[in-house]
Amino acid sequence: MSFSQLGLCAPILSAIAKQGYTTPSPIQQQVIPVILNGQDVLASAQTGTGKTAGFSLPMLHRLSESPRNVRGGRVRALILTPTRELAAQVGQNVRDYSADLRIRSTVVFGGVGINPQMMALRKGADVLIATPGRLLDLYQQNAVTLKELEILVLDEADTMLDMGFIHDIKRILKLIPAKRQTLLFSATFAPDVMALAESVTNNPVKLSVTPQNSTVEVIEQKLVAVDKQQKIPALIALLKQNDAKQTLVFARTKHGADKVVRKLSGAGIRSAAIHGNKSQGARTKALSALKDGTIQVLVATDIAARGIDIDRLPAVINLDLPNVPANYVHRIGRTGRAGEGGRAWSLVCADEVAELRDIESFIKQNIPRESLEGFEPSEPLPTHPVKIKAATVKKPKKPKKPREGQAARRRSGAPKRSGNKPRSEGKAPPPSSKGAWANAGSRA
């Protein structure tokens, strides 16, 4: 199948060709016709599957079909992303794909001055790419209004929930029209994601291109057991043995990321850190340095790494295992993108056995173990059998056998004897059917 068979307009097809793409990815083949048809979408797709083009191409097509002058501060389509890096990446993609269209797009996020963003929004925007917090800041400054919004995209919805953006999302939902097209993309169909989808979409088409909670098959995963105090020396040895040129290393904390960079630099390995305490300028500079080869290693925390897009990144190393199993999938998904091969190592100590067990249960496989010469651990890591919970069929409950006194009363036709207390005093009222999502921007 080619992009021309999906129903996209000629200017967009021209822009796609300029980017060197010829064949749509599986998620693009599924989602583009649905969005062009005006339906809501709930899609599960791992990183590197082409999901950004999957929603931006048909969104731009629909906007170009009904062109109109956007007044100051007005927005026609809104793409919400969890991080600055992802917002910048999506913004660049939108600009590339709309190069031959009369479409104005703007990117706004925190960590930089707000005044230039306010100035840009004075002209209005066909497409606004934003992080939730900065969008609300601009709204409070009367720099943007969402009353004329036609399309809402929630990108990496699971990450936004993990980062605690649910309250910001609820506030934004109150500012936009109920009649709109909503596209929600997530790495997994976790229960909280499904709850959010129910509150923001209208009869969505549910799409998935990978089995739930699966890792990318083309990634070669390895687990290296080491003692905790030997982790950084083992990391240095691993990098040197594999002649690492472009490697993303994950640390659990900001302080830990900075410490790793100091140690790597002392060992002659060019590196930089990227985390929440770094300015946006420093984060952008570090990412560019990894892409152009100025540095060999980028050390990142989970949140800062969201949105990192590096073509053919050969390797990812987990210096620390994440506390949340789904983050393991996000981390290693930085490599093996767009069908390319990749390697993912995890340096694991005895203190992380519980996290390892949770991750292996989540991905439904044991990560292959290997040893690093000179760094054998003082105690080996156990291998836990991966349990895949089978679907259970509930058996019908057996009718309760009445007690002797009750049976006698029923035979005699006597009425039931009431208790000493009214029912309202003896039993708590049933819980409300309205959950935490009851007011989360319902479109009913």
Q: How many domains does the chain have?
A: 2
Q: What is the mean pLDDT of residues 39-52?
A: 84
Over range 367-386, report the average pLDDT: 84
Average per-residue pLDDT for the chain: 82
User: Which of 46-50, 215-219, 295-299 has the largest mean confidence?
Assistant: 295-299
**Residues 166 and 292 grouped into a single domain:** no
Higher-confidence position of 13 and 382:
13
Strand partners, 206: 42
Answer yes or no: do 309 and 239 share one domain: yes
Residue 277 and residue 148 share a domain: no
Q: Are strands 297-300 and 41-44 parallel, antiparallel or unpaired?
A: unpaired
Q: Taking the mean position of all CA atoms in its chain, how far away is CA 71?
A: 32
State whether 104 and 58 are in the same domain.
yes
Read off the pLDDT of each residue in 96-104 and give the average, rounded to a whole number: 93
Burial class (CB in 10 A: 0-12, 13-18, 19+), 379: exposed
Indicate if the pLDDT at residue 188 is higher than 80. Answer: no
Looking at the domain assignment, is residue 187 inside a domain? yes
In the structure encoding, which two tokens stand for residue 432, read together?
């409300």
Residue 281 scores a pLDDT above 90: no
Is the same domain home to 195 and 338?
no
103-117 pLDDT per residue, tens: 999 999 998 899 999
Tokens matching residue 354: 């519980």
Residues 189, 274, single domain; the answer is no
What is the band of 339 on the pLDDT scale with cuts at 50, 70, 90?
A: low
- Among 190-194, 345-349, 385-389, which stretch is predicted with the lowest mean pLDDT? 385-389
pLDDT value of residue 305: 64
Q: Is residue 389 part of a domain?
A: no
CA distances (Å), 442 to each of 76, 201, 237, in order?
20, 8, 53
What is the spatial distance between Cα 25 and Cα 88, in angstroms, rounded to a whole number?
22
The pLDDT > 90 percentage for the chain reads 47
Domain boundary residue, one of 370, 401, 433: 370
365 — pLDDT class (breaks 50, 70, 90): confident
Q: Are residues 256 and 326 in the same domain?
A: yes
Least confident window among 30-39, 183-192, 348-357, 422-431: 422-431
Q: Do 295 and 289 contact (CB within 8 A), yes or no?
A: yes
Residue 65 lies in a domain: yes
The answer to whether residue 323 sits within a structural domain is yes
Q: Does the pLDDT value for residue 148 go beyond 50?
A: yes
Instruction: For the chain, state the CA radius of gyration.
Output: 26
The pTM is what? Answer: 0.66
pLDDT at 84: 86
Q: Residue 187: is its pLDDT beyond 90?
A: no
User: Exposed, middle or buried, 68 (CB in 10 Å: 0-12/13-18/19+)?
Assistant: exposed
The answer to the question of residue 243 being in a domain is yes
Model confidence over 381-411: pLDDT tens digits?
877 776 654 434 444 445 555 555 554 455 4
Beta bridge partners of 128: 78, 106
What is the structure's pLDDT at 219?
A: 82
Residue 433 in domain = no
Domain edge (last residue) among 320, 349, 370? 370
Last residue within a domain, chosen from 370, 388, 408? 370
Looking up residue 50, the CATH number of its domain turns out to be: 3.40.50.300
Same domain, 194 and 243: no
Whether 203 and 225 map to the same domain: the answer is no
pLDDT at 434: 38
What pLDDT is recorded for position 22? 84
pLDDT tens string 231-272 = 999 999 999 988 777 899 999 888 999 999 999 999 999 999
**What's the average model confidence in pLDDT over 93-100?**
94
**Res. 210: pLDDT tops 90:** no
User: At residue 182, does pLDDT exceed 80?
Assistant: yes
Q: Which domain range does residue 120 map to?
A: 3-208
* Claim to verify: residue 234 and residue 177 sit in the same structural domain: no
Both 224 and 177 in a single domain? Answer: no
In a domain, 387, yes or no: no
- 170 and 307 within one domain: no
Inside any domain, residue 7: yes
